[in-house]
Amino acid sequence: MAEDQSSPVKVWLDRDGALLRLRLARPKANICNAAMIGALQTALDAHRETPALRGVLLDAEGPHFSFGASVEEHLAERCAAMLASLHTLILAMVEFPLPILVAVQGQCLGGGLEIALAGGPIFAAPTAQFGQPEIKLGVFAPAATCLLPWRMSALAAEDLLWSGRSIAAPQALASGLVSTLADDPQAAALAYFDEHLAPRSAAALACAVTASRAPRVRELRQRLAEVEALYLGRLMATRDANEGLAAFMAKRAPIWEHC
């Protein structure tokens, strides 16, 4: 494993250098704050050209994958920088020239789910829960509005985005959000890698991933810019967005004025 145990992400090469391992390492919440986003970005940048690499496995320590992004970093004075870094990471993951497998246990919420969605197949424990609760705070999930419809129907994606509710892993599997249910999702992802990716040519995989994702990369660049502008220019100018975030920080119920 990586020698720097202070990092919010553990990074190491597995399978004789064929598999890059990334592990969120701030249990139990594994909050996706600026430090964690930066560490993931650095790891992907550092290994983008690693010879003979055939894939990435993103997983997490502790009982939960992630409770989501840092609410403090969503506050008006910090949210522009937070969105810029998160969306840069999302694009880096979608553009990464090799498959990114994601193993999820427990809660996978908010910005944590957005990061999972930017990868490839999601392997989930049967007890895992998936949701975008941002609407409950008077905001919305910009990247998820772009990424969820890639995996599930528009109606199912809108339900998660508008209601803020979570769905259990079996429903996530039925909807297409999750690829595989397994009691040990990390082991299932490793087995998939060993059978389907490790025997392949790294060069061929890189070309196949780049070719299959090219249209979505172009779409995502445009859509992220649009939703980021909506979030910063319109939503954060509302009284309710700031009230919802303040109420969460104060551990009280928000009082909406619908403006």
Please answer whether residues 129 and 108 qualify as being in contact, where contact means their C-beta atoms are separated by less than 8 angstroms. Answer: yes
Question: What is the Cα Rg of the chain in Å?
Answer: 18
Confidence bin at 74 (pLDDT 50/70/90): confident
pLDDT of residue 167: 98
Q: Is the pLDDT of residue 1 over 70?
A: no
DSSP 3-state of 214: helix
Please answer whether residues 181 and 124 qualify as being in contact, where contact means their C-beta atoms are separated by less than 8 angstroms. Answer: yes
Instruction: Kindly give the residue spans of alpha helices, DSSP state H, lying in the chain.
Output: 34-47, 79-95, 110-117, 142-147, 154-163, 169-175, 185-192, 202-233, 239-250
Q: Is the pLDDT of residue 2 over 60?
A: no
Q: Quote the percentage of the chain above a pLDDT of 90.
A: 96
Domains in the chain with CATH codes: 9-197 (3.90.226.10)
Q: Is the pLDDT of residue 207 over 90?
A: yes
pLDDT of residue 13: 98
On average, the pLDDT of the chain sits at: 96
